[in-house]
Structure 1
Amino acid sequence: MLKAGIISPGKTGTWASPAFLLKQKSGYRFIVDYRKVNSITKPFFHPLPRVDDILDKLSKGKFFSHFFSRKGYFQISVLDNSKHKTGFTVPFGIYEFNRVPYGLTNAPAFFSAIMQSILGGLEFVQVYIDDIIIFSENESEHLEHIQIVLDKLTANNFLKNADKCVWMQKSIKILGHIIDETGIRMDPEKIAVIKNMKTPKTVWHK
């Protein structure tokens, strides 16, 4: 992140939240604990679209493309007079973010507001925080819609995460559901734990 310009060395005595590595299946994820910063942050409110409304609109499509900007926050600059508030500590010093980091309480709403301002006027796109879904009635129309979305994102300096793209699909998994020509249904993977739950035999059964 330092080489990419996402972070810079901070100053001793400025804000400094603890940072650590979280082990995941695919490796480790860098996390900053911003709970204290968030507790004194003035909330930025931006209404998120209702999931059922999104699913209802997507159900009218026959072709789908989906990608989310997992690194999208890093494409938003932090104001110079606020960078010190993103400071975090590691064993070899204090650093601060030049780009919006994950973990700040207002980051999702702020990012959603930006995405809505860029893509909100397109009837063939649904945006849920960093999930972007394009839907169309036919293949040729879908190709046009994809190009329009990519052009708008590129014009606003937002790049898609190529590792998380799904293009030109007739079935799509999104927001815990599967959508295809047969309709909308729950994603079996999301309800497997409940379906496989053993029937309790006593009041205290686990």
Structure 2
Amino acid sequence: MTSTNSEFKPQVNEVNAVIDKLTEHITNNQDRLDFLDILHQFRHTFDTSIVTQAHLTIHHTIPTADARPTSVRPFYKTPQQREVLHKEVEKLLHDNVTRGSASPWTSPVILKKKPDGTYRFIVDFRRLNAVTEKDAYPQPTTEELLNRLAGHRFFTKLDLKSGYFQIPISEADKEKTAFVTQDGLYEFNVLAQGLMNAPPTFQRVMNNLIAAGRWNYVVVYLDDILIFSDSIKEHKKHVIEVLSILQKARFTVSPSKCVIAVEKVEFLSHIITVAGIEPSPDKIQAILDIPSPKTLT
């Protein structure tokens, strides 16, 4: 399968290395060759060198009825923070995640410091969210997802790369996502973290995209896709069907978070095998690490 769009040509050597690594654990030589062939067939889906928007019929909307635009001045930033913010905004513009804006709506930016000293870029959409009509689209519960996976032998997990940034926003609503810095005003072209209805939109998109096999051989929770099968022969077919859907819609996945044709997989903080489902060790440890309650005397 080829693409005539020059923006979507994969970096061949890098993608080859990614595909080799994803299949190196498969011990049966014929099965490994088969999955190598499958992943090469859908190589564009594993190419993260270009930031792309998915081709979808569903776009994120921000219904605000007759609410007046909300506006907040930019928060104070130190010279160091302004430099960090400038670089982040330049990258977002370069990747077509955002564009310049002349919107009457404005939200401020927060830079949250991480343990490693770097900053996380966050737009404070609280005022916009306060006037946004709630989207009641349902999300599957952990219990029903895990119950559907029980008893199956082979699993492939796909994680969409920067999943929100692959979902377009309705043109009429882009101005509502505008954020302000000391350097200018910008708005999102794609779904942004912090928007109230972002999770329902993402779930709706994925449910509509992967409608045919959903619950039969694939479950979806936001940007996590888990394919499950009883036999390796079935699994090859199921993986082809899901990757075909993703590539047609021009979604890309994050290879470092994907696993292909394994018999043990972690999903929603649980370890799943044909023998059963149990909490992941990290989840158990987190519970054990909770400090004991102290009573006042």
TM-score using structure 1 length? 0.90
Q: Map 1:94-113 to 2 at 5 A.
A: 94-113=185-204
**Cα deviation code 1:94-136 (max 9, x no counterpart):** 1100111111111110110110011132010001111111111
Q: Map 1:111-122 to 2 at 5 A.
A: 111-122=202-213
Choose from 124, 128, 133 the match for 2:226: 133
C-alpha distance in 2 between matches for 1:54 and 1:199:
32
| Letter paired with 2:253 | K
CA change 1:134–1:204 in 2 (3 A) is: farther
1:139 CA drift (Å): 1.8
| Letter paired with 1:19 | V
1:198 CA drift (Å): 5.4
1:197 CA drift (Å): 4.3
Q: Map 1:35-54 to 2 at 5 A.
A: 35-54=126-145
| Letter paired with 2:234 | E
C-alpha distance in 1 between matches for 2:114 and 2:258:
21
C-alpha distance in 2 between matches for 1:199 and 1:106:
36
Residue in 2 that maps onto 1:16: 106
C-alpha distance in 2 between matches for 1:196 and 1:15:
43
Tell me if the contact between 2:151 and 2:275 (Cα under 8 Å) persists in the aligned partners: no
C-alpha distance in 2 between matches for 1:86 and 1:139:
45
SS in 1 for 2:238: helix
CA change 1:180–1:25 in 2 (3 A) is: farther
C-alpha distance in 1 between matches for 2:239 and 2:270:
22
1:78 aligns with 2:184: no
Residue in 2 that maps onto 1:65: 156
C-alpha distance in 1 between matches for 2:181 and 2:232:
50
C-alpha distance in 2 between matches for 1:155 and 1:172:
26
| Letter paired with 1:103 | G
| Letter paired with 1:14 | P
Residue in 2 that maps onto 1:203: 295
Residue in 1 that maps onto 2:243: 150
C-alpha distance in 2 between matches for 1:166 and 1:59:
18
Residue in 2 that maps onto 1:188: 281
**Cα deviation code 1:53-87 (max 9, x no counterpart):** 11011112211111222422222222222111000
C-alpha distance in 2 between matches for 1:197 and 1:29:
26
More strand by share: 1
C-alpha distance in 1 between matches for 2:108 and 2:115:
23
Tell me if the contact between 2:151 and 2:273 (Cα under 8 Å) persists in the aligned partners: no
Percent of paired sites with the same residue: 35
- Could you tell me which runs of 5 or more consecutive residues in structure 1 were left unpaired when the two chains were aligned: none
Residue in 1 that maps onto 2:180: 89
Instruction: Count how many residue pairs are aligned between Structure 1 and Structure 2.
Output: 203
**Cα deviation code 1:15-49 (max 9, x no counterpart):** 11111333346754321111111111011121111
SS in 2 for 1:20: strand
More helix by share: 2
C-alpha distance in 2 between matches for 1:156 and 1:172:
26
| Letter paired with 1:187 | S
Choose from 132, 146, 156 the match for 1:55: 146
Which has the greater radius of gyration?
A: 2
